[in-house]
Structure formats: C-alpha cells, structure tokens
Amino acid sequence: MLKIFKYSFYDVLRSRWTIIYFLFFFISTLSLLYLSNNLSKAITSLMNIILTIIPLISMIFGVMHYYNSRDFIDLLLSQPVKRKEVFIGQYLGLSISLAAGFLLGILIPFLFYGLSVSVDVWNFAVLAAAGVFLTFIFVALSFFISLLNDDKIKGFGIAILTWLYLAVLYDGMILLVFVSFNEYPLETPALIFTLLNPIDLSRVMVLLQLDISALMGYTGAVFNKFFGTTGGMVLSMASMLIWIILLLIGINKVSSKKDF
Amino acid sequence: MKYYLIFLFIALQQGLNLAATIVVCKTCPVSAIAHAVQLAKNGDEIIIKPGTYKERGILIDKSVRVTGENYPVIDGENLGEVINIIADSVLVQNIVIQNVGSSYLQDRAGIRITRSKHCILNGNKLKNTFFGIYLAHSDSCVIRNNEVQGIPDKESNTGNAIHLWYCRNNLIEGNRLSGHRDGIYFEFVEHSKIYGNTSSDQIRYGLHFMFSHHCDYFRNKFSGNGAGVAVMYSHDISMHENLFSDNWSPVSNGALLKDISDSRIYKNVFEQNTIGLYAEGCHRIEIANNDFIKNGWAVKILGTSENNKFIENNFIANTFEVVTNESRSHNLFEKNFWSDYSGYDLDKDGIGDVPHRPVKLFTYIVENIPPAIILLKSLFIDLLNLAEKVAPVITPETLTDTKPLMKQVQW
C-alpha cells in the first residue's frame, strides 16, 4: 500500500495541477493579506474561498484522477495486490498531496505576515484543519462516485451535482426548513443540520473563532456553548471523521465487488 | 466716633459673613472632617491636609467649601457612605474617596447630594465606591473633572458612577468613569448637559438615561462598555460629536434608542460596535452627518419607528448596513454615503443615478428568523443577496436611498 501511495503521491505532485492549486492559494492568501492587512479579516475572506474552492477542486480533481489512472488501476489489479490497498493508496496519495498544496499555499504567506506573533494562530489552525478535512472528505466522495460510474460524463455530472448540493442547495434547504418551522425553537435542529454537512460545519467552526461571531446573537451563543465544550469539539471532529470513514468503507465495498 | 461706630457696625456685619478657614489635619486641633463641618458656619472653607482619614457618614448641612490639599484620602472602610450633602452651594474639590462597600439594601454612594442647589464637585477621585456620585432632587449642580473608578463585580452588586434622580439643570463635564454598572445614569432629569466625559469598561451601559427630557450630550467618549449606551423614553434630546466605539459583544449596541422622539443626533462616530445605532419606537429624530464605521449592523431600525431622517451620514465597511423587520419603511434615507454602493454617476453631480438599497435580503431574513444567522457567509446566501439586489421582491421597497452620494460626506 505504501508503494502505491508513494507512486500516486509523486504522480500527483509531478503534475502541473498541484502546482497551480498551490499557487492559487498562495497568491489569493498573499493578496488578501496584502489588501486587508489584518489577519482576522483575511481569514474571513479566505474562509469563503476555501469553503467553495476546496470541495469543488477536490471533487473534480478526484474524478479526473480516477478516470485518468483507470488503466493503471486495471494493471495494478492484475497483480497480487489487495484491491483495498490499491484504492486506499491512491486515495491517500491524492488527498495528501492536495492537502499539502493547500497548507503550504496558505501557510507561507501567513508566516510571511507574522502569524507566529499574532493571536490569530488558533483561528488559522481551525481554518487549516477545516481545509484539510474538506480535502479528505471530497476526494473520498469523488472516488466513491467515480467507482460507481464507469461513464466519465455521468461521473463528472454526479460529482458536480453533489458539490452543488452540499455547498449551495443544502443551505437553501436549511433556510426552507427555518421558514416553514419559524414558530418552533430552531437552535437544536440548526446545530444538527450544521453537524451533518462538512462545509457548513467548517464554516460555522471558523466563524465562531472570529470577531464576527458577536453578530450571531442567541443562536451564536448556543453554538458557542456547544462547540466550546469538549463534547461538542469531539462530536464535530467525529462528524468529519465519520464522513471519511463511511466513504472509505463505501469505496472498499464497491471496489471489492466491482467487476473491472 | 460716629464714623467709628458705623465702621464697627459694618465690620461686625461683615464678620458674620466673613468666611473663616478651618484646617483639618492629623495633628491639628481639628483632626476629623465631620468635626470641622460641625464647627463651620455657612460660607466657611474647610481645608483638608494630605493624609488618610477613616471617616464615613460626613453630613454637610451648611454651605461650605471643602478643599483637599494634595488629594487627602477619606476611607469609608467598606462600611458606609462617606459624604452626604444636604445644603445648597457646597463645593467639594480635590479629595480622594474610597471604599464605600457594596450593599444590597442601600444605594451607598461616595458623595451624595440630596435636595440641594448650586453644588459643585470638582476634581475628586472616587475609588471602589459602590455608587460614585449620587444626586437626588438636586438642581443646578456641576460635576466636573472627577475620576470615578470602580471594581466591577456582578451587575447586581455594582453601582453607577454618576447617578442622577429627579434633577434639573445640571452639568456633568469632563469626568472619567470606569468599572461600574452604568457610567452615567439619569432618571427623571431635565435640562441637563453631559459634556466631554469618558465612560468606558462599564459592566452594562456607558450612559443610561430614562424619562430625561431636553438634555444635551456632546463630545463624550463611550467605549468598551458591556452594552454600549441606552437612551430611553425621552424627548428633545440632542446628541452630537460623541464617539461610540468598541462595544463588541452579542448584546452590545453603540447607542440604543427606545421611545425617543423629536431629537437630533449629529456628527457622532459609531465605530466597531455590534450594532451601531439601534432604534425602537423612535419618532422624528434627525440623524445627520454621523460616521458608521466597521459595525456589525450600522443601523437597526425596527418597524415601530417613524418619520426619522437619515441624511448625509457615512456608512463605511459595515457587515450589514441597515436592518429592519418591516416590509415597509416610514423613515427617510437620503444623500448618505454607502461604501457598499455599486451604482454610477453619469451626470457627475456627485449623486448616484441608481438608488441604493441598504437592506440586504439576508438581513431581512435574519431579522424575522434569527436562527438563520448560522448561514452567515454561506455561498447560498451570497447568491440570494445578489438575486434580490438585481430584482428586489422581499426587501422593503421604500427603504432606499434615492440620492446616494458618490463621495464621503465631509463634516
């Protein structure tokens, strides 16, 4: 598995895309810091970019990577290697290289602007952790989707739709629920909805770290209370991890049964 | 001889009025301030030499001038009130008063003035007094350049720095207040001026007044207070050139106006508050030439407010500009500068050709469904705001600035 991981990791690193991915985060972080000159503000704007771009790119890149290395996978599968190892190795190679590109891309500008002396270290850590988690979740999701669909176009379509659903439509659905059940106390449902969607969860966790959380009033206080406790922290971590684990189990199951 | 008698007569009469000076110090014949007040007659001067005097319950019932030399300290030892003034024209200056001790039964104060006129408190320092300066039923008093510093505890067992109750024609000027429940508290006070004070880091409000009509508040600084400034149930109020800043918590407002009418608010700066200006049940207020900078919500105006005018204000870099809970607005917004404005000015007259809508769809949704705030900064919300901006359906049609300025107002 280590060998497959290594091969896949280097393969992705060598491709132009990771460099572009890295440069994208590097340049956008640098320009945001340069323009706002305030770490907290930069983190808010960066959060918007991260929450949209990371899931989207991870998804597209995952699907692309799978379909492109389909021949290689077929070759590997004819060797005496476990199917599980082939796919998990590929998965880890891709997601770790993407996560590395993202982390370096935002870390270097922040270090350059003096993150080490700032009180925003913790905010930055939450943002970085959210980005890494999102990378792992959405790469897994893309592998799962492309394993289920041999048709490239269909795979791409479903991947984009899934992204659209989690990044945009899900919030619309929440809003619809809020509008319909306005008479009821909605804080707990809001909390549950947030925990279920990794993008929303990342957004709320980052926002609660920032000054802007003061705007969130009573609901914000409920959220703060929840995420302030160890239990809440563990639960939100667990929610992210469960996404990854469930998807990996899914990949494993589908790949072991699939007729290649 | 005749002249001599007349001179004597005048001298005697003068002698009655001539102010004597009583000196209080540790080694003097008079070593206690209360004793000095007992000896004094109307118009006398009491000079307190430096030192620490452990006294409390000093009742000033004559028109005397009490002056401290090099800030003598009167220590109440946490057992009760220190100075209680019940005479007219009393002057107390340059004294340090400390440790009154909190009480759940009485409103203990460092200096209390009751039913008196023309009293002056000047340059005193009050430390750890439960209530700092407490005026009740007193008119035409001046409270100037005092420093009132408390040790904040809970809201229930911390008093107010300057507290006025049923007073008229008072001047509160140049005081520095911190660490109390409310910095300046007015209730049933009329025709008074609050000028050049600094009130910061109070547990609750920097300035709090109720049922206080015809008052003037200007050039004060209110910052870092638990809930900002609250003005309630009053009319004919003038607030100008004040700074409301850094009131940043889920319950903070720069200035909260409740049931205020026929008032003027101009040339104030509202900076970095959760809500810059909050208005509820307010009528006929003119809000002009103010700066709203980097607030969470610059202005929150609820539907019960009518006929207010927002003219030539600057709205710069606020997260939300205006929020209201009504679908129709009865307030006028005109010729303001909005940093969020994205229109153009083809005829170059300095006024944007497209009206500006300061109420975003999301602010409207949040106002009606508060938990929806968890969608803050979500991509969906951004798209929704954009859609509403292009074709407004839900946000108040009438709450628009038809003449948005292209450049900041200079005032």
B369 vs A contacts (CB less than 8 Å): 178-179, 182, 186
| B378 touches A at CB < 8 Å | yes
Contact B113, B145 (CB under 8 A): no
Contact B66, B48 (CB under 8 A): yes
| B365 touches A at CB < 8 Å | yes
What is the three-class DSSP state of B178? strand
| Helices and strands (H and E) in chain B: how many | 4, 38
Please give the Cα distance from B190 to B205 (Å, whole number): 20
**pLDDT tier at A43, thresholds 50, 70, 90:** confident
Give the residue from chain B lying closest to A186, CA to CA.
B371
Q: Where are the beta strands (DSSP E) in B61-197?
A: 65-68, 73-75, 83-85, 91-93, 96-98, 109-114, 120-122, 125-127, 131-136, 142-144, 147-149, 162-168, 171-173, 176-178, 184-190, 193-195
Task: Please state, rounded to an integer, the average pLDDT across all residues of chain B.
Answer: 89
A215 vs B contacts (CB less than 8 Å): 250, 274, 296-297, 319-320, 373, 376
B296 vs A contacts (CB less than 8 Å): 212, 214-215
Picking from B168, B162, B167, the residue whose alpha carbon sits closest to that of residue B182 is B162
**pLDDT tier at A16, thresholds 50, 70, 90:** confident
| B325 touches A at CB < 8 Å | no
Q: Give φ, ψ of B234 to 5 degrees.
A: -135, 160
**pLDDT tier at B123, thresholds 50, 70, 90:** very high
Query: Per residue in B219-270, pLDDT tens?
Result: 999 999 988 899 999 999 999 999 999 888 878 889 999 999 999 999 999 9
* Residue of A175, A188, A196, A207 to mutate, testing the B interface (most B Cβ within 10 Å of its Cβ): A175
- Greater confidence (B195 vs A76) lies with B195
Cβ-Cβ contacts under 8 Å for B61 (sequence gap 6 or more): B37, B86, B87
A171 vs B contacts (CB less than 8 Å): 375, 378-381
Look at A187 and B248 and tell me if their CB atoms are within 8 Å. Answer: no
* Predicted local confidence at residue A136, as pLDDT: 95
* Residue of A165, A216, A223, A227 to mutate, testing the B interface (most B Cβ within 10 Å of its Cβ): A216
The residue type of B11 is A
Both tokens of A115, joined, read 């993150």
**pLDDT tier at B324, thresholds 50, 70, 90:** confident
Q: Would the CA dihedral through A171, A174, A180, A185 be positive or negative?
A: negative
Query: Per residue in A190-218, pLDDT tens?
Result: 889 999 999 999 998 888 877 777 677 77
Question: Cβ of B185: how many Cβ atoms within 10 Å?
Answer: 25
Picking from B258, B291, B245, B255, the residue whose alpha carbon sits closest to that of residue B410 is B291
* Predicted local confidence at residue A116, as pLDDT: 58
Query: Per residue in B181-203, pLDDT tens?
Result: 999 999 999 999 999 999 999 99
Give the residue-averaged pLDDT of A208-234. Answer: 77
| A203 touches B at CB < 8 Å | yes
Give the residue from chain A lying closest to B318, CA to CA.
A212
**pLDDT tier at A225, thresholds 50, 70, 90:** confident
Query: Per residue in A93-107, pLDDT tens?
Result: 899 999 999 999 988
Give the residue-averaged pLDDT of A230-235. Answer: 82
Asked if residue A245 has pLDDT above 60, the reply is: yes
Q: Where are the beta strands (DSSP E) in A35-128?
A: none
Contact B275, B295 (CB under 8 A): yes
| A211 touches B at CB < 8 Å | yes
ipTM of the complex: 0.84
| A169 touches B at CB < 8 Å | yes
| A132 touches B at CB < 8 Å | no
| B249 touches A at CB < 8 Å | yes
Q: Of A139-143, B36-40, B156-160, B285-289, which range is least confident?
A: B156-160
Strands B109-114 and B131-136, bridge-based pairing: parallel
What is the three-class DSSP state of B329? coil
Residue A234, Cβ density class (10 Å: 0-12 exposed, 13-18 middle, ≥19 buried): exposed
Would you give the DSSP letter of residue B410? P
Provide the shortest C-alpha distance from residue B255 to chain A (in Å). Answer: 16
Provide the shortest C-alpha distance from residue A11 to chain B (in Å). Answer: 33
**Gap between the terminal Cα atoms of chain A:** 19
Look at A219 and B370 and tell me if their CB atoms are within 8 Å. Answer: yes
Contact B267, B289 (CB under 8 A): yes
Domain range summary for chain A, segments of one domain joined by +: 2-257
Picking from B319, B321, B324, the residue whose alpha carbon sits closest to that of residue B376 is B319
Compute CA distances A139 → A100, A104, A155, B141, whole Å.
Answer: 14, 19, 13, 73
Query: Per residue in B359-387, pLDDT tens?
Result: 888 888 888 888 888 888 888 988 888 88
Query: Per residue in B302-323, pLDDT tens?
Result: 878 999 999 999 999 888 899 8
Give the residue from chain B lying closest to A202, CA to CA.
B378
Compute CA distances B56 → A173, B90, B148, whole Å.
Answer: 66, 18, 18
Asked if residue A15 has pLDDT above 70, the reply is: yes
Asked if residue B83 has pLDDT above 90, the reply is: yes
Look at B378 and A171 and tell me if their CB atoms are within 8 Å. Answer: yes
B376 vs A contacts (CB less than 8 Å): 207, 212, 215-216
A183 vs B contacts (CB less than 8 Å): none
- Greater confidence (B172 vs A115) lies with B172
